[in-house]
Amino acid sequence: MTLDSQRTLVALGCRVAAARGLVDGILGHLSLRVGDDQLLIRCRSDTDAGLAFTRPSDIRLIGIDGTPGGAAELDGYRIPNELPIHVETMLADPRRRAVAHLHPPAVVAADLAGIEIRPIYGAYDIPGAVLARGGVPVFERAVLIRSSQLGQDMVAAMGSAPVVICRGHGITSAAGSIQQAVLQAISLDALARMSLQVSAAGGTLRDIAEADWDDLPDLGSDFNIAAAWRHEVARLGIQPS
């Protein structure tokens, strides 16, 4: 992919996240590593209208150290305060090329209510069930993660999991692609909303039966990622290419 097409992809990821209610207003940001020491990240400007209206031009190239990745890359733009979320997540595992830091209200509410995200359903969303099977870790500090140390602390809480809940704050989702990082966040949000609904109805949250996992196959990336992403882009009113 060209640099311009990667900018467009990160911008789409921001818009998809906003359309799914995973962010509100100007909060949250996505990034994509494009080299050993560079990444594209959603930045802010004086004309910023929020993540739902992210433009490819809002996605700027920077060095892993936060310096401009090219001439005029940061002219009129500001790097997110929480850049360490992205940098430390990527540095901890080279397979994590894409990072989505989002603020889904249902996930925050479920965690604050003491509801652990577990695989309470199966075929309803197989990737979501798999995501929750090993438990979703929680970083227990409700702070702005604007230092390398805090970023490293969050990554330590995350461990090898693809997502981590930041208590009283939001989530960080990491994957090999923007598409997967955002789709993971959508699945986590769906689990949180279902858990809240079941609890509000007076039900008891239970993991699905262990025997059921044998009949919950991996349907493959063509379905779980490619087809799912086409749907998310189409929901924005953009005809998939």
Catalytic residues: 82
**Rounded Cα gap, residues 7 and 4, in angstroms:** 5
Which residues have CB under 8 Å from 236's CB, separation 6+?
Answer: 12, 15, 16, 19
Strand partners, 63: 38
Dig out the tokens for 127 from the structure: 């990737």
**Rounded Cα gap, residues 158 and 164, in angstroms:** 5
Which among 32, 1, 17, 22 is positioned nearest to 178, based on CA atoms? 32
Which residues have CB under 8 Å from 200's CB, separation 6+?
Answer: none
Side-chain-facing half-sphere of 140: CA atoms under 13 Å = 1
Please tell me whether residue 151 adopts helix, strand or coil conformation.
helix
